Amino acid sequence: MSKLTAVKQARFVLCAFSLGFFVITAATFTSLGVILPSMVAELNWDWTTAGLGFTCLGIACGLSSYLPTITISKWGLPLTLIAGLILLATGFLMLFMTASPISYFWGCILVGTGYSFVGSVPGTYVITHFFKKHSTAFGFYYTVGGLGGVVGPIVVWLATDMLGNWRYHWLVMLGAIIISVSIMLISLLFTDSQRLRKPPEHRKVETENQRVYETEQVWTFKRAVRTPQYLLLAAAYSTVLFVGITVNSFSVSHLTEVGISFALASTLLSAEAFCNALSRIFGGFIGEYFEPKIMLQIALILLAGGMFALSFGQSLMALGFYSFAIGFGFGLTFLSCTVLLVRYFGTGPYLRLFSLMNLGATVASAAPLLSGYLKDETGSFVPPFLMIGIIPIFIFVGISFMRPPRLEQQKKAKPQISNPSINKLLVTKECELVTVVKE
């Protein structure tokens, strides 16, 4: 297959993987949250069962997020994508035919695992190999993926109202994911396969007046994961998933219970997803010129405000603020955590750091189970919404004290490290000198 120029390769791959992220976003978290009321009504489940399925989806996505780093290095990117497609196809078929909680749980587990193999882990891995301006490329990738959250609820509506049953939604998404992954595989045929097998080179990009910090030091994975900065970024990343999974799971159900129509509740969720997508392209651009840490702080405040608005909002203005705040807060937090990871630690250890961050974010999968349980106990979604809405405030405090990590301590300690081979050589020379003196 003939190869394209480096610029065309980068654009083709970015567009193909962004389309894949668009489809997988539409097919999973946003769709399941909208389709749950129909499933609960038809199958006579309680909300704890419904939330547990969403928890299985999140746990599977989190726990499997490190697997693509292994398969990419062992098998290569194409086989990793094919493995993800097989998992997703099996999961969608199980959800289409589900009649019991067990098949529902297994379908969610397979879909969540497949998400890791075709979603953000391979997508951001490709971006670090082909783009110097990571923030702009990340912004485009996450924006297109975020738009999938706009389409997901619409597809559910088409399946339930036009096709007659919520089950057809999973067949529609199965066809879409087959097409999108096929395009991703085709794009790799036109790229330099050897380039993807090598670790990405960290190339410092000059920014205006050097207002954006970017490390010039060579970080290793082991050193990076021990820094408080990485732990704070991982905590922020987990927090945004706590909020996002909760909103996608139960916002429509909560709003319909307090008197909002299903159509308006679904529209608000789509509007939130649109704001999410818009924030990422906006954040990706300004991230090249302004410190992403400030973006992260603003985003965390928006997340907290959005959860409070969702809990108590009744007016159209309050509900509009909920969509805006959660959407922009989610998108900017997601983007700024990713960009700061590259800025602080470089592209060398990025894939493993990002995968581990997703693995740690598995804790956010407890949100639907917690929310469903508290709903059954209290009769309202407000208590779990408020509990989860407080978390971003605590993370905001920690981020406020965060500074770029440095390696000075390791450098200072280096001269004191004893090298056994050198010491042995010095002892040998000393013995030889003593022998000569004696003679």
Range of the domain at 297: 6-202+218-411
Question: Taking a C-beta distance cutoff of 8 angstroms, is the pair 40, 146 a contact?
Answer: no
- Contacts of residue 353, defined as CB under 8 A and 6 or more positions apart, other chains included, come to 221, 224, 225, 230, 341, 345
- For residue 287, what pLDDT band results from cuts at 50, 70 and 90? low
Q: Residue ranges of the alpha helices (H) in 190-315?
A: 193-197, 221-225, 228-257, 262-286, 292-312
Residue 150 or residue 299, greater confidence: 299
- For residue 435, what pLDDT band results from cuts at 50, 70 and 90? very low
Question: Is residue 421 one of the residues assigned to a domain?
Answer: no
Give the separation between CA 344 and CA 292, rounded to whole angstroms.
11
Give the separation between CA 393 and CA 364, rounded to whole angstroms.
16
Q: Is the pLDDT of residue 437 over 50?
A: no
Going by C-alpha positions, the residue among 381, 371, 157 that lies closest to residue 266 is 157
3-class SS at 70? Answer: helix
Q: Count other C-beta atoms under 10 Å from residue 379's C-beta.
A: 10
Give the tokens for residue 428: 């040998």
Give the separation between CA 81 and CA 411, rounded to whole angstroms.
40
* pTM of the model as a whole: 0.69
Neighbour-count burial for 167-192, b at 16+ CB within 10 Å, e otherwise: bbbbebbbebbeebbeebbebbeebe
Give the separation between CA 304 and CA 292, rounded to whole angstroms.
19
Q: How far is CA 406 from CA 210, 221, 231, 411, in A?
A: 17, 14, 15, 10
Q: Is the pLDDT of residue 165 over 80?
A: yes
Q: How far is CA 204 from CA 53, 132, 207, 250, 369, in A?
A: 43, 8, 9, 43, 43
Measure the CA dihedral 341/342/345/349, to 10°. Answer: 100
Question: Is residue 423 one of the residues assigned to a domain?
Answer: no
Mean pLDDT of 171-176: 91
Give the separation between CA 146 and CA 375, rounded to whole angstroms.
28
pLDDT at 414: 44
Longest dimension (CA), the chain: 103
- The enclosing domain of 352 has a CATH number of 1.20.1250.20
Phi, psi of 204 (to 5 degrees): -75, 130
Question: Taking a C-beta distance cutoff of 8 angstroms, is the pair 242, 367 a contact?
Answer: yes
Give the tokens for residue 51: 């939330």
Mean pLDDT of 218-243: 89
Question: Is residue 94 one of the residues assigned to a domain?
Answer: yes
Mean pLDDT of 77-91: 94
Question: Is residue 324 one of the residues assigned to a domain?
Answer: yes
- Contacts of residue 40, defined as CB under 8 A and 6 or more positions apart, other chains included, come to 46, 47, 50
Into how many domains does the chain fold? 1
The model's pLDDT over 2-19, given as tens digits with 9 standing for 90+, comes to 566 767 778 888 899 999
Share of the chain above pLDDT 90, in %: 27
Q: Is the pLDDT of residue 1 over 80?
A: no
Mean pLDDT of 185-205: 65
pLDDT at 358: 81
pLDDT at 145: 84
Q: Of 218-227, 347-356, 381-390, which one has max mean pLDDT?
A: 381-390
The model's pLDDT over 311-335, given as tens digits with 9 standing for 90+, comes to 998 888 999 999 999 999 998 898 8
Q: Residue ranges of the alpha helices (H) in 379-419?
A: 382-400, 408-413
Give the separation between CA 254 and CA 93, rounded to whole angstroms.
28
Question: Taking a C-beta distance cutoff of 8 angstroms, is the pair 338, 354 a contact?
Answer: yes
Residue carrying structure tokens 């997803």: 273
Q: Is the pLDDT of residue 100 over 80?
A: yes
- For residue 243, what pLDDT band results from cuts at 50, 70 and 90? very high
- For residue 351, what pLDDT band results from cuts at 50, 70 and 90? confident
- Contacts of residue 370, defined as CB under 8 A and 6 or more positions apart, other chains included, come to 51, 384, 387
- For residue 428, what pLDDT band results from cuts at 50, 70 and 90? very low
Share of the chain above pLDDT 70, in %: 84
Give the separation between CA 358 and CA 352, rounded to whole angstroms.
10
Question: Is residue 49 one of the residues assigned to a domain?
Answer: yes
pLDDT at 61: 86
Neighbour-count burial for 253-273, b at 16+ CB within 10 Å, e otherwise: bbbbeeebebeebbbbbbbbb
pLDDT at 3: 60
Give the separation between CA 375 and CA 313, rounded to whole angstroms.
18
Q: Looking at the chain, how many residues does it have?
A: 439
Q: Count other C-beta atoms under 10 Å from residue 83's C-beta.
A: 18
Question: Taking a C-beta distance cutoff of 8 angstroms, is the pair 69, 352 a contact?
Answer: yes
DSSP character at residue 158: I
Give the separation between CA 243 and CA 363, rounded to whole angstroms.
12
Give the separation between CA 230 and CA 344, rounded to whole angstroms.
9
Q: Is the pLDDT of residue 215 over 80?
A: no
Going by C-alpha positions, the residue among 315, 152, 311, 292 that lies closest to residue 243 is 311
Question: Is residue 292 one of the residues assigned to a domain?
Answer: yes
Question: Is residue 399 one of the residues assigned to a domain?
Answer: yes
Q: How far is CA 396 from CA 184, 237, 272, 357, in A?
A: 37, 12, 22, 18
What's the whole-number average pLDDT of the chain?
A: 81
Mean pLDDT of 300-318: 92
pLDDT at 415: 47
Question: Is residue 11 one of the residues assigned to a domain?
Answer: yes
The model's pLDDT over 14-42, given as tens digits with 9 standing for 90+, comes to 899 999 999 998 888 778 877 888 888 88
